[in-house]
Amino acid sequence: MESKLINGEDTLAKLLAEIPGQVERLSEVREELLANAVLLGEIPAPTFGEGDRIRFVIDRFRENDLVAPAIDDCGNASALLPGSEGENTILVMAHADNVFDHETNHAMCVGSDRITGPGIADNAIGLSSILTLPALLDSLGLKLKDDLLLLANVKSLGRGNLEGAHHFLETTQRPFRAGICVEGATQGRLSYSGLGALRCEISLRIPGDYDWNRFGASGAIAHLSRLVGRIMEIPVPREPKTSVVFGGLRCGSTYNTVPKRGSLRFEITSEADTVVTDLESQVRDLSEEFSLESGTEVKLEIVARRPNCGILFSHPLVKTTRAIMDSLAITPKVDPSTGDLNAIVQAGHPGVTLGLTTAENLRDENETVLLEPLFKGLAQLIALLRAIDEGLCDA
Amino acid sequence: MTNDINSWLEQNTFHHSDFWDLRKLVEEKERKGLTISLCIPTLNEEKTIGKEVLILRSELMERYGLVDEFAVIDSGSDDRTREVASAYGADVYLASDILPEMGNKRGKGENLWKAIYQLKGDVICYVDADISNIHPRFVYGLVAPLIQCDEIKYAKAFYDRPLNYSSGLRPSGGGRVTEILIRPLFSLFYPELTNVIQPLSGEYAARREVLERIPFPIGYGVETAHLLDLYQEYGIEAFAQTDLDRRVHRNQTTNALGKMSFGILQTFLNRLRSHGRIDQLPDMETIYRQFEVEEGHYRQLTHKVVEEERPPMIEIEAYLARRKLSKQP
């Protein structure tokens, strides 16, 4: 046992020592990586509308001679890069959808040190790294022992509710040694747990027989703002850490017409599932009470629900990831995930989410990734794959 | 001529998807021992040049080996065009540094002409630098007809117009200058050339052996001159055209189009003179030719347009009588 530990430490030390030299060599694949990112980024891929982007992904898998490229029933694209031994499989995934609709101009602008365009950071550059991974490994002369299963998963964001990732992990027959979710931003991100979350949408409608002469009568905007105020009065505990984020309010269309309907989107997150359940119950009661009080129709819809899950901070996968980041002078920012990592962990596999580079204006149409830090981010990803491949991350 | 025209349209009009198998295309290119140079002429294009070089070079040089040489020939940009192009691996030249003994003229045609001297390929493909939806099809769609068919010497792009009609029929043509100036002129003087759906498109590929034998207007008339000179020498059979779907680019003001038309008209009239047509004008054609497309097939629409004329009213007897005027001598 002790001898295995010493061997493991030696192997990790050797691997860490090689990382800085790899950053420069990875930049030899810069053009292919960035071209993939731009071509992917220019194909609109709103959640539930990722088909065209997925076709591009599957074509690339085929062009790269990967094994068993396939699109599953849910629309996910996957393919296998066989290892020299193939006893284990490592899952590397990136979500293919973004928050921009088909009408958004998806043209990317390529400068000498940055790329700007909607969804380039979240997640065209992340997805591009998956497509380019075989070339990146080749550039370093690396051949892993484990198989790599590359996955572009769909229906991840918003109402997608991780459907693609859940579907893939539920239907695939392979056990995974570990899973890595790749996000374009932000370098240093280290997620190893999924945060309990509840995404809610409240729709408010003023009925046709609404009594406009009653006390407090008003349009949908005023009602919704009162409702927001009431939700904010619900006590939110500091421990376990809990937050309520209001992410969207849609109501009204002009200056002088009282709107009759509107909707409110918000997310409750907590480190304790019981707190999420309790807050959900309070919001539900409050919605019903508000509906009766105000004479409006208020409907609460639960769009997404995720339980708390994760691996420990002391898990070898997390410890090794931190060591790799340290060797690259990347400061880890530990942040529980509400994304695809939840699906990996819920399926019983250890996993982490990594960010590749620095980004600006996230989720705006002028979203930007900086190119200089990108290769350090990729070196981090490849080092972690090697560590998993060497058995350094097994619990 | 209608049958010939339809036959040329069917045989020499392509869609870029006809050439999707780039591996086969590269094999054919290598079998024939052809080399291909890609030239992008630039002047202050820092916003789009990076993406063009990145995508085209990565896909067509690194991934598939279709293009052997990639050059940006710049007219002296004062923005970061040359720096950005160079950062993504293009060979960047200042037009003024090429053939300096011939002097330096400023215009796109100058860069295209100097590319023939500077570049090595048997085929040169020219692509404008302002395409914001750049894609490898903008190159392989043009060089493929030249690789596959030895008789074709010049392949020109045309694009989908973003207009759709519920009937499934839609007009297919060029921009404003094409429809208002070029197509009427071609209909009058060179009816066969009206088959070229977008004669002014800035993307085309040609064999060196023909490019080196024609003069190059340095300004707006270069595309028109190419068509007229090669048509005069080789006939319509030397041309091909490829549908490259949509092209998104800057829109030009009407004033700019007026300048462009003026330059093109000069080129056109010069060609009429050198082709011996200006002093001996043929009978005017009265058929105006346009295109429509249905389910991928292009069909020429012809309209008889006879511009009859009335004499001056002063020569009409009834008018003179009504106005109590006497007939002028």
pLDDT for A357-379, tens place per residue?
A: 999 999 999 999 999 999 999 99
pLDDT confidence of residue B304? 74
Q: Report how far residue A191's alpha carbon sits from residue A188's, in angstroms, rounded to the nearest whole number.
A: 10
pLDDT confidence of residue A101? 95
Banded model confidence at residue B115, pLDDT cuts 50, 70, 90:
very high
Domain contains A356: yes
- In sequence order, what E strands does B43-167 have? 69-74, 91-94, 123-126, 154-158
Q: Can you tell me the mean pLDDT for A197-209?
A: 94
- Judge whether B235 and B190 are in contact, CB under 8 Å: no
Does residue A240 have a cis bond before it (omega within 30 degrees)?
yes
The amino acid present at A272, given as its one-letter code, is A
* Domain end point (choices A281, A306, A331): A306
Chain A nearest-CA distance from B84, in A, is: 5
Q: How many domains does chain B have?
A: 1
When CB atoms are compared, the residue of A32, A63, A109 closest to B51 is A109
* Domain end point (choices A273, A306, A339): A306
Domain contains B324: no
Domain contains A395: no
pLDDT in tens, A99-146: 999 999 999 999 999 999 999 999 999 999 999 999 999 999 999 999
- The verdict on A312 and A300 lying in the same domain is no
B51, A31: Cβ pair inside 8 Å? no
pLDDT confidence of residue B166? 42
Sign of CA dihedral A30, A33, A35, A41: negative
User: Domain span at residue A249?
Assistant: 196-306
CATH number of the domain at A202, please. 3.30.70.360
Three-class DSSP category at A18:
helix
Residues of B in contact with A63 (CB under 8 A): 63
Mutate to test the interface with A, among B49, B55, B134 (most CBs of A within 10 A): B55
Which of residues 133 through 172 in chain B touch A, CB cutoff 8 A? 133, 135
- The verdict on A121 and A242 lying in the same domain is no
User: Domain span at residue B84?
Assistant: 2-284
Domain contains B160: yes
Mutate to test the interface with A, among B20, B40, B54, B249 (most CBs of A within 10 A): B54
Chain A nearest-CA distance from B298, in A, is: 27
pLDDT confidence of residue B3? 62
Least confident piece of the model among A148-162, A278-292, B180-194, B268-282: B268-282
Q: Quick one: B249 exposed, middle or buried, by C-beta within 10 A (0-12, 13-18, 19+)?
A: middle
Whether B1 has a pLDDT exceeding 70, the answer reads no
Does residue A105 have a cis bond before it (omega within 30 degrees)?
no
Three-class DSSP category at B305:
coil
B50, A32: Cβ pair inside 8 Å? no
- The verdict on A225 and A271 lying in the same domain is yes
Domain contains A265: yes
- The verdict on A109 and A167 lying in the same domain is yes
Domain contains B50: yes
- Judge whether B130 and B108 are in contact, CB under 8 Å: no
- Judge whether A149 and A90 are in contact, CB under 8 Å: yes
- Judge whether A359 and A184 are in contact, CB under 8 Å: yes
- Judge whether A51 and A37 are in contact, CB under 8 Å: no
CATH number of the domain at A42, please. 3.40.630.10
Q: Report how far residue A262's alpha carbon sits from residue A222's, in angstroms, rounded to the nearest whole number.
A: 10
Chain B nearest-CA distance from A93, in A, is: 24
Banded model confidence at residue B289, pLDDT cuts 50, 70, 90:
confident
Domain contains A230: yes
Q: Can you tell me the mean pLDDT for B315-320?
A: 85
- Judge whether A108 and A42 are in contact, CB under 8 Å: yes
- Name which of B58, B85, B215, B144 is nearest A31 in CA terms: B58
- The verdict on A295 and A368 lying in the same domain is no
Q: Report how far residue B108's alpha carbon sits from residue B39's, in angstroms, rounded to the nearest whole number.
A: 11
B133, A35: Cβ pair inside 8 Å? no
pLDDT confidence of residue B161? 52
Domain contains B294: no
Domain contains A261: yes
Chain B nearest-CA distance from A66, in A, is: 15
Q: Report how far residue A270's alpha carbon sits from residue A196's, in angstroms, rounded to the nearest whole number.
A: 5
Chain A residue with the nearest C-alpha to that of B136:
A39
Chain B nearest-CA distance from A360, in A, is: 18
Banded model confidence at residue A6, pLDDT cuts 50, 70, 90:
low
Whether B235 has a pLDDT exceeding 70, the answer reads yes
Whether A49 has a pLDDT exceeding 70, the answer reads yes
- The verdict on A288 and A214 lying in the same domain is yes
- The verdict on A258 and A169 lying in the same domain is no
Q: Can you tell me the mean pLDDT for A177-193?
A: 96
Q: In what order do the strands lie in the sheet with B297-304?
A: B170-171, B287-294, B297-304
A39, B62: Cβ pair inside 8 Å? no
Chain A nearest-CA distance from B265, in A, is: 35
Whether B287 has a pLDDT exceeding 80, the answer reads no
Complex ipTM more than 0.85, yes or no: no
Instruction: Tell me which of B2 and A23 has the higher pLDDT.
Output: A23
Q: Report how far residue A394's alpha carbon sits from residue A315's, in angstroms, rounded to the nearest whole number.
A: 8
The amino acid present at A181, given as its one-letter code, is C
Chain B nearest-CA distance from A44, in A, is: 13
Which of residues 190 through 219 in chain B touch A, CB cutoff 8 A? none
Q: How many domains does chain A have?
A: 2
Domain contains B311: no
pLDDT confidence of residue B164? 37
Banded model confidence at residue B165, pLDDT cuts 50, 70, 90:
very low
- The verdict on A220 and A100 lying in the same domain is no
- The verdict on A136 and A223 lying in the same domain is no
Mutate to test the interface with A, among B52, B58, B92 (most CBs of A within 10 A): B58
A34, B54: Cβ pair inside 8 Å? yes
A35, B58: Cβ pair inside 8 Å? yes
Q: Report how far residue A53's alpha carbon sits from residue A48's, in angstroms, rounded to the nearest whole number.
A: 11
Check if A31 contacts B (Cβ < 8 Å). yes
Chain A nearest-CA distance from B55, in A, is: 5
Which of residues 202 through 231 in chain A touch B, CB cutoff 8 A? none
Domain contains B189: yes
Domain contains B217: yes
- The verdict on A54 and A107 lying in the same domain is yes
Q: Report how far residue B2's alpha carbon sits from residue B26's, in angstroms, rounded to the nearest whole number.
A: 36
Check if A150 contacts B (Cβ < 8 Å). no
Identify the residue whose tokens are 């002078």: A329
Residues of B in contact with A107 (CB under 8 A): 132-133, 248
pLDDT in tens, A229-278: 999 999 999 999 999 999 999 999 999 899 999 999 999 999 999 999 99
Whether B172 has a pLDDT exceeding 60, the answer reads no
- Name which of A392, A330, A357 is nearest A144 in CA terms: A392
Number of Cβ within 10 Å of residue B257's Cβ equals 17
- The verdict on A297 and A355 lying in the same domain is no
Residues of B in contact with A35 (CB under 8 A): 54-55, 58-59
Domain contains B29: yes
pLDDT confidence of residue A174? 83
- The verdict on A117 and A92 lying in the same domain is yes
pLDDT confidence of residue B253? 77
Identify the residue whose tokens are 């249905």: B294
When CB atoms are compared, the residue of A38, A63, A107 closest to B54 is A38
* Domain end point (choices A287, A306, A325): A306
Identify the residue whose tokens are 């939840």: A342
B54, A110: Cβ pair inside 8 Å? yes
Domain contains A394: no
A38, B51: Cβ pair inside 8 Å? yes
The amino acid present at B4, given as its one-letter code, is D
Residues of A in contact with B47 (CB under 8 A): 109
Q: Report how far residue A183's alpha carbon sits from residue A153's, in angstroms, rounded to the nearest whole number.
A: 12
Q: How many CA atoms lie within 13 A of A26 on its CB side?
A: 28
